[in-house]
Amino acid sequence: MGIADGKRALIAGVANDKSLAWAIAQELHAQGAEIALTYQGEILEKRVRPLAEQIGAEVVGELDVGNDAHIDAVFARLKEKWGGLDLMVHAIAFAEREDLRDRFLRVSRANFAKALDISAYSLVAMARAAEPLMEARGGGAIVTLSYLGSVRAIPNYNVMGVAKAALEACVRYLALDLGPKNIRVNALSAAPARTLASSAIAGYHSMAHLVDEHAPLKRAMRPDEVGKMAAALLSDLSSGVTGQTVYVDMGYNIVGL
Taking each helix axis as running N to C, give the angle between helix 158-178 and helix 109-116, from 0 to 180 degrees, rounded to the nearest 10: 40
State how many domains the chain has: 1
The reply to whether 2 falls in a domain is no
8 Å CB contact between 204 and 147: no
Q: Is residue 257 part of a domain?
A: no
- pLDDT tens-digit profile of 109-154? 999 999 999 999 999 999 999 999 999 999 999 999 999 999 999 9
User: Does 209 score more than 90 pLDDT?
Assistant: no
- Catalytic, 173? Answer no
| Mean pLDDT (whole number) for 9-29 | 96
- DSSP label at residue 120: I
- Res 204: pLDDT: 61
Helix (H, G, I), strand (E, B) or coil at 105: helix
Determine, yes or no, domain membership for 150.
yes
Q: Is 3 inside a domain boundary?
A: no
- Residue 157 known to be catalytic: yes
Q: In the predicted model, what is the mean pLDDT of the chain? A: 94
**Percentage of the residues of the chain whose pLDDT score is greater than 70:** 95
Taking 60 as the threshold, does the pLDDT of residue 200 lie above it? Answer: no
Considering 39, 157, 247, 252, which one is annotated as catalytic? 157
Domain assignment present for residue 1? The answer is no
d(CA 129, CA 212): 38
Of 197 and 37, which is predicted with more confidence?
A: 37
In-domain check, residue 94: yes
Q: Which residues contact 206 (CB under 8 A, 6 or more apart)?
A: none
Active-site annotation holder among 39, 147, 204, 252: 147
Average pLDDT over residues 218-243: 97
**Residue 144: inside a domain, yes or no?**
yes
Q: Is 60 exceeded by the pLDDT of residue 196?
A: no
Q: What is the side-by-side order of every strand in the sheet holding 58-62?
A: 58-62, 34-39, 8-12, 87-90, 140-146, 183-190, 245-248
Q: Which domain holds residue 154?
A: 8-249
DSSP string, 135-161: HTTT-EEEEEEE-GGGTS--TTTHHHH
What local confidence, expressed as pLDDT, does residue 1 receive? 82
Instruction: Tell me how far apart the alpha carbons of residues 208 and 62 are, in angstroms, rounded to a whole number.
Output: 32
Whether 222 is covered by a domain: the verdict is: yes
pLDDT category at 248 given cuts 50, 70, 90 is: very high
CATH number assigned to the domain comprising residue 17: 3.40.50.720
